[in-house]
Amino acid sequence: MTVNTIGVDSSVAETALSELSASFKGELVRPGDPAYDEHRKVWNGSIDRFPALIARCGGVADVIAAVRFAAGAGLRVAVRGGGHSYPGLSVCDGGIVIDLGSMKGIRVDPEARTARVQAGALWGELDRETQAFGLATTGGIVTHTGVAGLTLGGGLGWLQRKHGLTIDQLLSVDLVTAGGELVKASHTENVDLFWGLRGGGGNFGIVTEFEFRLHPVGPTVLAGPIFWPIEQAPDLLRFYRDWSAEAPDELMTLVVQRKALPLPSIPRELHGKQLVSVSCCHAGPIEEGERVVRPLRAFGSPVLDLCEPKPYVAHQAMFDPAFPHGWRYYFRACDVAGLSDAVIDVMVEHGRRIVSPISSVAFFQMGGAVARVGESETAFNGRDAAFTVNINGNSETAEGFDAEREWARTFSFALAPHHTSVYVNFLMDEGEERIRQAYGADKYERLKALKRTYDPTNFFRLNQNIPPD
């Protein structure tokens, strides 16, 4: 190995690198290696960075070795779980990527209804293992998103209104600190750290394993989207506002405005047409779900109704075709306290201006069990939000991407008077003030104090960073 490839030039670092290389169980990938391009790529195709070394860890010992090596060599560190950070925080130019993607061990205990999950697992992989026992935990709505990054920020998903956020299911974690020590955190061990990890992202160390509580779910659920022409959006959203306010916790909905993708499930004549949809997932008895969804189906004149009994894992994969790896993604998000007429007007006006066939605006219905956990019980902020809005300005290639970004920014600016909070996992690279807003002043100060304890040199800084001072 030539040390020059990673820019490490002291003889001490040279020795450290050969020691790492000799003992590493996983794979060390450097510029020029055949697998380098494959492993430096992240989900968002607009991010193109060139790390000096990618340490594809095979286990906890590799993570500890990689952390100690990086600390000794003074390297910039990016930590990668599923690689789905919108602003590309899991890859860097120069420095080292500590890549957990090969650590995919999952062990479900069906009796105890718990799962132990290594940090490289993706949501589709975890759902597959838990659903084999008719169990699940709240998880992301796209199967190839990483369990690790999503959980550490909070974790929104179809089961959140019935069971709470992903962090509300977290029982314990194993974490490698900036000093290369393995610590555990749970409701009884390192309680302050456990508080901060539930929303504080990757600021305090590298989580190598999560333990989650599971719940009986499905395996068949009543789920899927119902579509209306975009012209019906103003009335539909007003109807939806009242109907969703009365919905039981079993029901979670997500409203999307976009041009219909050319998918086999969508009739050809609708492809490319601007539609508004309400996607449902009822995590309870099918007949009960049918009763709850009936008024929605009856509203206006839907052009397509795909809300039907289906396997929970099939529903979890529903949005996969809309977010493949490699497209260019730009994102703005905020929480709103409700769908006032003014918010609906902004949604409709800017939703109608979508040009790209792959841009969209969506909002997640919050409430239910999410809001029943106290605001100060975890580092996650904004439990009282009614909806979390996502504005996705996307293009397949560089062509047209600037215009999509501009559309998303303008849309977000128009919604700004209604912003209440923002979910930290839905931030782009937006600066410290916005991160402070994401946590609120009190929690931000508490997180800073925790950072001073666990990472006083800000070794883990490629994240939605909470600097120690």
CA gap 242, 86 in Å, rounded: 32
Dihedrals φ, ψ of 181, to 5°?
Answer: -105, 145
Sequential DSSP letters for 240-297 = HHHHHHT--TTEEEEEEEEEPP--TTS-GGGTT-EEEEEEEEE-S-HHHHHHHHHHHH
Identified binder of ligand FAD from the candidate list 26, 82, 199, 200, rule CB under 6 A: 82
CB closer to ligand FAD out of 153 and 218: 153
CB closer to ligand FAD out of 206 and 255: 206
Dihedrals φ, ψ of 364, to 5°?
Answer: -85, 135
CA gap 404, 397 in Å, rounded: 11
43 in contact with ligand FAD (CB under 6 A): yes
Stretch that binds ligand FAD, among 31-39, 81-89, 280-288, 349-357 (CB under 6 A): 81-89
For ligand FAD, what does the binding mask look like between residues 99 and 138, x meaning CB under 6 A?
-x------------------x-------------------
Least distance (Å) from ligand FAD to the CB of residue 62?
A: 13
Helical (H) or strand (E) element with 66: helix 60-73
Least distance (Å) from ligand FAD to the CB of residue 47?
A: 10
141 in contact with ligand FAD (CB under 6 A): yes
Residue listed under structure tokens 């956990």: 373
200 in contact with ligand FAD (CB under 6 A): no
435 in contact with ligand FAD (CB under 6 A): no
Torsion, Cα of 193, 194, 199, 203 (10° steps): 30
CB closer to ligand FAD out of 348 and 379: 379
Identified binder of ligand FAD from the candidate list 45, 72, 149, 393, rule CB under 6 A: 149
Torsion, Cα of 363, 367, 373, 379 (10° steps): 20
CA gap 34, 31 in Å, rounded: 9
User: Which residues make beta-bridge pairs with 311?
Assistant: 220
218 in contact with ligand FAD (CB under 6 A): no
* SS3 of residue 123 by DSSP: helix
Identified binder of ligand FAD from the candidate list 81, 224, 368, 382, rule CB under 6 A: 81
Identified binder of ligand FAD from the candidate list 26, 51, 95, 153, rule CB under 6 A: 153
Stretch that binds ligand FAD, among 83-91, 104-112, 377-385, 408-416 (CB under 6 A): 83-91
Residues that bind ligand FAD (CB under 6 A): 43, 79-86, 89-90, 100, 119, 140-142, 145-146, 148-150, 152-157, 201-202, 206-207, 323, 425, 462-463
